[in-house]
Amino acid sequence: MNRLWLRLALSFLIVTWLVVGVVALLISASVQSNFRDYVTKTNIARFGQDLVTQLEAYYAVNNTWDGVGDLLPERGGGSGAGSGNEGRGAQLFIADANGIVVAATQSDWVGQPVAALGTTRTIDLHDSNEQRVGILGEQTPGSLAINEAEQQFSQETSSGLLLTALLGGVAAFLLGILVSYNLTRPLQRLTDAVSAWTVHDLGQQVSVSGTDEMRQMAKAFNTLSGRLGEGETARRQMAADIAHELRTPVTVMRGHLEAMMDGIYPLDTAHLGVAYDQVLHLNRLVEDLRLLTLAEAGHLPLNQARLKPETLIQQAAERFEPLAQDAAITLTIETPGTLPEIHADAHRLLQVFDNLLTNALRHTPEHGRIAIRATQTAETVKISVFNSGQPIPPEQAARLFDQFWRADEARKRDAGGSGLGLAISRQLVRLHGGEMVCEPVPDGACFTFTLPVGK
């Protein structure tokens, strides 16, 4: 019962029976009503409209049926008489509103209830308010056959409607099985394909077929599978990158410590300093990984306050001015003067400036220049860090914010950082509601980020 195709088939069956049942009831009620009208009109025509009118007028004048027998045609229009029912013609009678015969061409019927007379054909007599005041009836040798024919017609009509409902239900059930199976078959194929997948199959695509809804679901699943595959590839690459980054300092420390233990290197400050530098490098790497993980998950706390962007830019430039002078690099600030305040964490934004300026110093040639620029847009403050030098190829610009990624010329540990600085910077900017990109420039590199204006 928990199969979708079976539920759909049963739904088809239930809906069909409900519809057919309602239609059958309406048709049956309509047929019965019309048939009763037909019988009534037939009986009126048989008795004669003049007789019916006379009887109703008699009651309207006298307000009683006493003496009404004089209006009845003798012996039902001249048919044979007798006290029995066999071998005689049509016999007429009049009954009051309670169904008691008050006048009849068959005298022994007076005082009897209409039901005791056997098979009869009757019509109701009404007053001016359409209230039933009496009954005009007839008993003939053919009344039984006529009544039986009427009952047979009614029964056959009901049986036909019931048979139609049963056959419609069976047809609907079979059709429901066929339709529901065809509807659910693509879903079953999708389920079978996914059930056989393992973590190594992430990113694979399934065939798109079926109804529009099924095709949309298959396309959505393929999109999700592609994203999961990309995520799994990124996870494996990150694990390999972390192992690669940790291996170098650990190897250096191990080599120096083993050399000092074996007496190859003296146990002095210089050689211990090399091992200590690697410990610091490991500590920075672990801290960067923790910071990036918290930032990507949105769990990094921010101590936000209203800040002036030009003040932050000035602080960042002052921290790197001595380093720029030592490298014979010109560091400038280009702002329009007054910028709108922002709502941000000053410490985290200084981390962003530190990462960008460190990266700029690393890739700016001697006698080059670094410029920190700020402008105002409609709802944001736009800040750029530009450095002269070799332009960044488009294929590299697309990967600059990947974790642990470096351009080939910066792969050496003495020239490159951990490879997390730009990724961390972008996540910190996103936590503030902004975005960071690498803008293409012909004479160097330019990293731009936006910050929403404080409300």
Domains of the chain: 1-72+90-196 (3.30.450), 212-297 (1.10.287.130), 305-452 (3.30.565.10)
DSSP notation for 321-351 = HHHHHHTT-EEEEE--S----EEE-HHHHHH
Q: How many residues does the chain have?
A: 455
Per-residue pLDDT at 86: 41
Q: 47-56, 350-359, 419-428: lowest mean pLDDT where?
A: 47-56
CB atoms closer than 10 angstroms to residue 250: 13
- Is residue 380 within 8 A of residue 343, CB to CB? The reply is no
Helices then strands, counting H and E runs in the chain, come out as 10, 11
Tens digits of residue pLDDT in 272-325: 888 888 888 888 888 878 888 888 778 888 889 999 999 999 999 999 999 999
The rounded mean pLDDT for the chain is 79
Backbone torsion region of residue 217, taken as left when φ is above 0, otherwise alpha when ψ lies between -120 and 50, otherwise beta: alpha
Helical packing angle, 212-261 and 143-195, nearest 10°: 20
Residue ranges in 107-211 assigned as alpha helix (H): 143-195
Q: Is the pLDDT of residue 210 over 70?
A: no
DSSP run (H or E) holding 358: helix 346-363
Per-residue pLDDT at 106: 84
Q: State the residue for tokens 């190594």.
A: 200
Q: Is the pLDDT of residue 46 over 70?
A: no
Per-residue pLDDT at 162: 75
Cα(305)–Cα(307) distance, rounded to whole angstroms? 6
Per-residue pLDDT at 403: 66
Counting Cα atoms < 13 Å in the Cβ hemisphere of 358 gives: 15
What does the pLDDT average to over 406-428?
64
Residue 138 pLDDT grade (very low, low, confident, very high; cuts 50, 70, 90): confident
Per-residue pLDDT at 195: 73
User: 29 CB contacts (<8 Å, ≥6 apart)?
Assistant: none
Q: Is the pLDDT of residue 333 over 90?
A: yes
DSSP run (H or E) holding 93: strand 91-96
The residues with which 125 forms a beta bridge, in sequence order, are: 134
Tens digits of residue pLDDT in 64-107: 898 888 888 764 444 333 344 444 567 888 999 999 999 988 88
CA 352 to chain centroid, in Å, comes to 41
What dihedral do alpha carbons 96, 99, 101, 103 form, nearest 10°? 30
Higher pLDDT, 256 or 402: 256
What does the pLDDT average to over 25-53?
72
Q: Which SS3 state, helix, strand or coil, does residue 450 take?
A: strand
Helical packing angle, 346-363 and 421-431, nearest 10°: 150
